[in-house]
């Protein structure tokens, strides 16, 4: 059994290799945990699952429906967290796990039910990062272009109808595509997917509960419960607004924020280095006069630019957000991957942003439609004005560089995997001719979702999305073009997004969606006369279309995560795909 070299693979242990050779290594034992992401383990378990998963992995519609219900209820919570911190982190799967353990479900049953839960919660992720832009562009003064709003009126029900129905089909497509990548990035060349270990530990606890090892499970659950309560209390203290008057006036009003604002003396104080649950560089304090009161000692949050004084903090922003979620993700990443993830942050804030501010580079202002030097932005006597020039650099230059880095690295990764893809497409071709591969086992049933369904579903999705956008009021030709673009982008950019998630634990939904948005807007705005579109229709088509794409790659990410856990507990990928597909509809 040959194993390819990989930058992410861990070395196999001697005991683990011996257990694999003897055939004694099994799901959730100590040797398995010691050899995660070795490649040898994953290929061994895949062979083991092909033979034994049919005795372990069983479909229970009632339990799956419970998982879907939990996911549908918590999809709103996921949306809130996504808008709050920029990461679509869901607690629904955790609730589903706890419920499954309480009802003594087996790890297989818990994994299948929670695959439906994650399908329901992540189907809405595309909406989180794109759909609100429609309403911001129609009403917020912060997003005016050329002195006016890009969108004059919004038919909420029309856009919601198009977005929801089209997102369902796109979500199905996202799941179907990654039947292919499961073999590539979870078995043949396994990506580490930092953070998945937490889910695996919960499945191990479920195994202890269902098998009667109650004491071990009780201790594990006790640790998880104490950590959860402690985190909730911590976030309540540093994040929950105690004074709604302060909150409505835009002043941070958690318990710690209020204490920091009170501890001020001689025009400085604790609030200068702590605000909005972050410890940051000295930013100074100010007095805010709002509609509900006058608030003293309020942190500026970010150091203001002053051309007449030299302050190194004007050139950057240094701070640590007190987020247990981010801390936990970093913990599971381990040192090497965590450093790689933070490398972009370090390069941006220690090099690129200070360099741009120091060189006084010109950046583009969309509202005025022209380039201005950063010193002009920081001058209160000129228009446009912002005291946060470092943030202006970040939003206009650094994010674009980051998106380019994601795109370049992703395409390089796809190019390196080209030989594997050639073999996979050969499998699809054979499957479409009626030949059954390892995904079907005689007299046992489907191990994996049949590959020949993929091209069929691509065709169905193409016509469905074209029809939905046409019925929704958009011209036929742009609707057909959009369906083609989403089909191609979901495969290529979705693969990039999932690869990034496999390396870092975070799927760049917003970054890849931005690439699609640029492509759609570039196409429809430049050719709007040819397609018979108004400028507003072209923008709406780009934004709603990007929402649909976001839902598709979100489903790709969540199904790959569920696939990875299923490999280590002996579940059939077929059941994981089925659970995610069932969860898409209520989630959307």
Say if CB 90 and CB 118 are below 8 A apart: yes
Confidence band (pLDDT; 50, 70, 90) for 104?
confident
Same domain as 458, residue 423: yes
CA distance 388 to 144: 19
pLDDT attached to residue 184: 78
Same domain as 250, residue 143: no
Cα–Cα separations (whole angstroms), residue 586 to 6, 79, 131, 171, 558: 39, 14, 18, 12, 16
Secondary structure element (H or E) that encloses residue 445, with its range:
strand 445-446
Same domain as 193, residue 162: yes
The stretches of 433-475 forming alpha helices (DSSP H) are 453-471
pLDDT attached to residue 523: 94
Same domain as 565, residue 447: yes
- 197 falls within a domain: yes
The position carrying tokens 């919570």 is: 77
Over residues 128-168, the pLDDT tens digits come to 878 888 888 888 777 777 667 778 777 878 888 888 888 88
Q: What are phi and psi of 430, to 5 degrees?
A: -65, -40
pLDDT attached to residue 414: 64
The model's pTM is 0.72
Same domain as 161, residue 105: yes
Interaxial angle between packed helices 214-239 and 255-262, expressed in degrees from 0 to 180 and rounded to the nearest 10 = 40
Same domain as 394, residue 421: no
Assign 3-state DSSP to the chain and report helix, strand, coil percentages, each to 5. Answer: 70, 5, 25
CA distance 542 to 474: 11
Structurally, how many domains does the chain consist of? 3
pLDDT at 425 over 70: no
Cα–Cα separations (whole angstroms), residue 344 to 54, 351, 406, 578: 44, 10, 11, 37
Phi-psi region of 547 (alpha: psi -120 to 50; beta: other; left: phi over 0): alpha
Over residues 300-353, the pLDDT tens digits come to 888 888 888 888 888 899 998 888 877 876 776 667 777 877 888 899 999 999
- 410 falls within a domain: no
Confidence band (pLDDT; 50, 70, 90) for 515?
confident
pLDDT attached to residue 386: 87
pLDDT attached to residue 580: 93
Percentage of the chain lying above the pLDDT 90 cut:
24
pLDDT at 4 over 60: no
Same domain as 248, residue 179: no
- 234 falls within a domain: no
Same domain as 345, residue 294: no
pLDDT attached to residue 354: 93
Q: Which domain holds residue 135?
A: 61-215+417-587
The position carrying tokens 């439609």 is: 369
Secondary structure element (H or E) that encloses residue 134, with its range:
helix 125-139
Burial pattern 572-587, b for ≥16 Cβ within 10 A else e, equals bbbbbbbbbbbbbbbb
Same domain as 364, residue 446: no
- 70 falls within a domain: yes
Listed residues 282, 301, 320: the one ending a domain: 301
pLDDT attached to residue 1: 45
- 31 falls within a domain: no
Over residues 234-254, the pLDDT tens digits come to 989 988 888 888 888 888 888
Over residues 23-35, the pLDDT tens digits come to 999 998 999 999 9
Over residues 473-502, the pLDDT tens digits come to 899 999 999 999 998 888 888 888 887 788
CA distance 40 to 104: 32
CA distance 531 to 75: 36
Structure tokens at 352: 């690129």
The residue-averaged pLDDT of 281-288 equals 87
pLDDT at 444 over 50: yes
pLDDT attached to residue 575: 94
Confidence band (pLDDT; 50, 70, 90) for 542?
very high
- 29 falls within a domain: no
pLDDT attached to residue 435: 46
Mean residue pLDDT of the chain comes to 83
Same domain as 434, residue 486: yes
Same domain as 481, residue 384: no
- 314 falls within a domain: no
449 against 335, higher pLDDT: 449
Over residues 187-239, the pLDDT tens digits come to 887 888 877 887 888 888 877 776 665 566 567 667 778 888 898 899 899 88
Secondary structure element (H or E) that encloses residue 288, with its range:
strand 285-290
Per-position DSSP letters for 483-542, written without gaps between them: HHHHHHHHHHHHHHHHHHHHHHS---HHHHHHHHHHHHHHHHHHTHHHHT--HHHHHHHH
Same domain as 535, residue 434: yes
């Amino acid at each position: 059994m040959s194993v390819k070299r990989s930058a992410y693979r861990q070395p196999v242990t001697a005991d683990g290799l011996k257990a694999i050779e003897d055939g004694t290594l099994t799901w959730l034992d100590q040797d398995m945990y010691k050899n995660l992401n070795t490649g040898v383990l994953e290929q061994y378990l895949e062979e083991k699952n092909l033979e034994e998963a049919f005795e372990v992995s069983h479909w229970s519609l009632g339990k799956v429906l419970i998982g879907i219900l939990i996911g549908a209820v918590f999809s709103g919570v996921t949306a809130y967290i996504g808008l709050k911190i920029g990461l679509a982190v869901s607690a629904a799967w955790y609730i589903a796990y706890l419920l499954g353990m309480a009802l003594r479900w087996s790890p297989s049953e818990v994994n299948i039910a929670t695959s439906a839960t994650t399908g329901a919660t992540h189907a809405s992720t595309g909406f989180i990062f794109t759909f609100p832009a429609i309403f911001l562009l129609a009403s917020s003064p912060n997003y005016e272009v050329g002195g006016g709003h890009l969108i004059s009126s919004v038919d909420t029900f029309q856009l919601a109808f198009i977005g929801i129905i089209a997102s369902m089909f796109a979500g199905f497509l996202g799941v179907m595509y990654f039947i292919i990548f499961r073999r590539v990035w979870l078995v043949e060349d396994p990506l580490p997917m930092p953070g998945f270990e937490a889910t695996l530990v919960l499945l191990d606890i479920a195994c202890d509960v269902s098998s009667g090892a109650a004491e071990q499970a009780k201790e594990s659950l006790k640790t998880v419960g104490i950590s959860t309560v402690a985190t909730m209390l911590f976030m309540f203290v540093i994040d929950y607004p105690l004074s709604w008057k302060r909150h409505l006036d835009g002043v941070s009003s958690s318990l710690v924020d209020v204490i920091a604002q009170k501890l001020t003396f001689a025009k400085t104080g604790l609030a200068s280095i702590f605000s909005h649950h972050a410890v940051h560089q000295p930013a100074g304090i100010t007095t805010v006069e709002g509609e509900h009161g006058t608030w003293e000692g309020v942190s500026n949050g970010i150091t203001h630019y002053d051309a007449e004084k030299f302050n190194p903090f004007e050139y950057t922003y240094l701070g640590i957000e007190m987020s247990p979620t981010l801390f936990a993700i970093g913990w599971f990443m381990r040192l090497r991957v965590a450093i790689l993830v933070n490398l972009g942050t370090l390069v941006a804030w220690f090099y690129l942003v200070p360099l741009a501010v120091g060189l006084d580079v010109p950046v583009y202002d969309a509202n005025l439609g022209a380039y201005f030097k950063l010193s002009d932005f920081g001058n209160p006597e000129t228009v446009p004005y912002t005291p946060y020039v470092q943030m202006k650099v970040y939003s206009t230059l650094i994010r674009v560089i980051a998106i380019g880095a994601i795109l370049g690295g992703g395409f390089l990764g796809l190019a390196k995997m080209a030989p594997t893809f050639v073999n996979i497409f050969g499998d699809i071709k054979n499957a479409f001719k009626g030949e059954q591969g390892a995904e079907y086992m005689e007299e046992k049933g489907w191990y994996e979702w049949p590959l020949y369904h993929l091209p069929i579903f691509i065709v169905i999705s193409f016509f469905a999305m074209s029809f939905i956008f046409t019925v929704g009021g958009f011209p036929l030709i742009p609707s057909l073009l959009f369906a083609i673009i989403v089909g191609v982008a979901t495969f290529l950019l979705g693969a990039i997004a999932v690869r990034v998630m496999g390396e870092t634990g975070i799927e760049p939904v917003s970054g890849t969606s931005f690439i699609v948005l640029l492509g759609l807007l570039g196409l429809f705005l430049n050719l709007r006369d040819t397609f018979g579109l108004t400028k507003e229709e072209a923008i709406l088509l780009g934004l709603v279309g990007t929402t649909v794409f976001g839902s598709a790659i979100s489903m790709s990410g969540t199904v790959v995560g569920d696939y990875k856990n299923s490999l280590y507990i002996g579940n059939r990928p077929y059941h994981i795909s089925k659970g995610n597909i069932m969860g898409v509809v209520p989630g959307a």
